[in-house]
Each structure stands twice: as C-alpha cells, then as structure tokens.
Amino acid sequence: MTPVYSTNSPNFKTSPTQFYTWNNYRCAYEVHTPIDAENNHKIALLLIHPIGVGLSRHFWQRFYELWYQTGRQNLIYNPDLLGCGESDMPHVAYTPNDWAEQLQHFLQNVVKRPVILVVQGALFPVAIELVQNLNISDLVKGIILSGPPAWPVITKQAKKWQQKLTWNLLDSPLGNAFYRYARSEKFLRSFSTRQLFAEEKQVDTEWLNMLNLGAENIASRYAVFAFLARFWQQGYEPAITKINQPTLVVLGEKASSISKSGTQETPEQRSQAYLQHLPKGESIFISGRNVLPYESTAEFVKVVANFTDKIESTY
C-alpha cells in the first residue's frame, strides 16, 4: 500500500516498509528519522494507530510530517498492527492482548530503546495490556492518550456471549457484505462526519483516499470486526489505577462517544474521571473532536512536544 501523500522532506526521512516476524506472522513498520541523526539519543515515540475501516499506520502521516517541520529530533516508530496496513491479516478474533504482545516483541527486538507511547482512541486497552507486562516497564517512559474512550466505556466489562455473538454475526456472509458497503465513500464520509470530526469540511479527499487504500484488502475486515465485537471492552478500571508511567490525556473540546453508554459524558467529565484514576495523569483540551492527530495536527504536535520535553528532562 502506497502512502497517501509524499513524505519527502528536508527535515526527516522515512524508511521503506520494514518487516519483522511475530508468531509466524509478518508485521510491517516504518521508522521516521530526523535528518540531524546526532540527536537520536532522544527518547523515541511509538505510535499506535486506531482500528477501523481502512485505518493503518498512515493515520499518523500528518502528525509526523508536522512534528519534524517544527524542528523536533525524536525518532518515530510507526508499526502496522496485525490485521492492518501491510501486516499479515489472519482470520482471527483479535484482542488487545494480541496486539500488546505484538508490540512487546517489537519493542524488545526491533526498537530496543525507551519510548513514549502515543495512542489513538479506543486502542488505549492495547497500551494498558502492554505496560502491565513487567518485562517492558523500563522501555515505556510515558503514555499519551489521544481522545481515549468515555469512562463508562473503558471501564465496562462486555459480556462474553455478546462479544462472541457479534463476532459470529460479522464473521459471516452478512458481515462480508456489510464490510464491502462500509468501504464505500458514501459510508466513510457519513460515519466520519457523524462520529469523528468536529467539522464536516475536514472529511476531505485525503482522508477518504487513505481509508479507501487501507480497505482494499477484504481481509482487513477481521481486525475491524474484532473491534466492533468489543473484545477490547474488558473492564479496565483496576488496571488503569496501576499505570505508573506519566500519562497525558489529550481531549478534543468537542469530544464525543460512539458508544451509547458514553454519550451522556461531557469532555470535562471524561477528563476528571481519568485524572481521578491515573496515578500520574494530567489532561489538556485542544480544538477538535475524536481524531485529534489528524484534524488538529498543529495543536496535537505542540502538546505532545511539551510532554515529551518533560519526560526527557527526567530521562
């Protein structure tokens, strides 16, 4: 899959797509390197992209391009989760722990250096599972949550029979037909406008082309179906209270929840709930709604840079 737009820049270079093997699966990633490579001793960023129709590591392209245009010198590791992008797409019901184990292997065998996790949306459970592993505690120095789920959503324990039923319904000819419709520009534009972006005009050709490219392989539906089956909804409140890494919660001023159980929560209430439970949490609001690295890139870059500087001052 080719990038949506050029990454040629005087400020950084992007590696060709690279691969590593985890559990006999081929997993893709790329590394973005500042031209001033002498500063590569700085803490690195590890990006965790969202799951959805056509989404992959290319979700972060606006972010890392502007990151380097502002003069930042941190290495960025940008992997495709299994089932997405250029990684293998096995026919399995993915759980957050599956992706966490993939990233643990990536951290220990490819990255091999401390990082700050930058996590989009409802992939927060993957970060939770990852930092619970004592073997990598020294490798994750901080966490940045971009638009994490509503508090009632992240703390809810979905019923296993409902998860299995939803998965079985989606993993059928009916689900196959639904995914083919979900790849259409009409659906993608409508869903993005209703659920993701603060302003309709931001649902542009660049965004839609990225999703179309990412959804070309029909096998990409399995990761999306696992997400829709809510295998990620595992009652994470106790685990969140045990996160020892400094954690920045970045919320859009117009943040909303796709799930009905979170629709009554205001952005301010979401912020307070996270701050009450994260041992080393802090929160900040920026303009936008639910896909901040894409819709409010400049503001998001700024808050990530400030948090990174703070972590580096103690690193």
Q: Would residue 3 count as lying in a domain?
A: no
Q: Is residue 4 part of a domain?
A: no
Distance CA 298, CA 290 (A): 15
User: Domain for residue 7, yes or no?
Assistant: no
Please report whether residue 157 resides in a domain. Answer: yes
The angle formed by the CA atoms of residues 24, 211 and 111, to the nearest 5 degrees, is 40
Q: Which helix (H) or strand (E) holds 307?
A: helix 297-312
Residue 63 within any structural domain of the chain: yes
Q: Is the pLDDT of residue 157 over 70?
A: yes
Report the pLDDT value the prediction gives residue 280, as an integer from 0 to 100.
96
Task: Check pLDDT > 60 for residue 261.
Answer: no
Q: What is the pLDDT of residue 272?
A: 96
Look at residue 6 and tell me whether its pLDDT is greater than 50: no
User: Nearest 10 degrees: CA dihedral of 71, 138, 59, 9?
Assistant: 30
| Residue 288 belongs to domain with CATH number | 3.40.50.1820
Contacts of 122 (CB under 8 A, 6+ apart): 50, 51, 148, 149, 153, 154, 227, 232
Residue range 161-196, pLDDT digits in tens = 999 999 999 999 999 999 999 999 999 999 999 999
Name the DSSP class of 17: P
pTM (2 d.p.):
0.94
Residues in a beta bridge with 144 = 118, 248
Which has the minimum average pLDDT: 126-135, 205-214, 270-279? Answer: 126-135
Domain extent at residue 154: 12-312
| Nearest by Cα to 223 from 59, 117, 98, 60 | 98
Q: What is the pLDDT of residue 3?
A: 41
Half-sphere exposure of 34 (CA within 13 A, CB side): 20
Backbone angles phi, psi at 243, to 5 degrees: -75, 115
- Which one-letter amino acid corresponds to residue 21? T
Q: What is the pLDDT of residue 169?
A: 95
- If one counts the domains in the chain, the total is 1
Taking 70 as the threshold, does the pLDDT of residue 110 lie above it? yes
Q: How far apart are CA 105 and CA 81, in angstroms?
A: 12
pLDDT recorded at residue 260: 57
Residue 214 or residue 4, greater confidence: 214
CB 147 within 8 Å of CB 251:
yes
CB 84 within 8 A of CB 240: no
Triad 278, 281, 286: Cα angle to 5°: 125
What average pLDDT does the segment 278-307 reach?
97
What percent of the chain is modeled with pLDDT above 90? 85
> Are β-strands 76-79 and 25-34 bridged in parallel, bridged antiparallel, or unpaired?
antiparallel
| Residue 91 located in a structural domain | yes
Asked whether residue 234 is assigned to any structural domain, the reply reads yes
**Is 1 part of a structural domain of the chain?**
no
Q: How far apart are CA 101 and CA 97, in angstroms?
A: 6
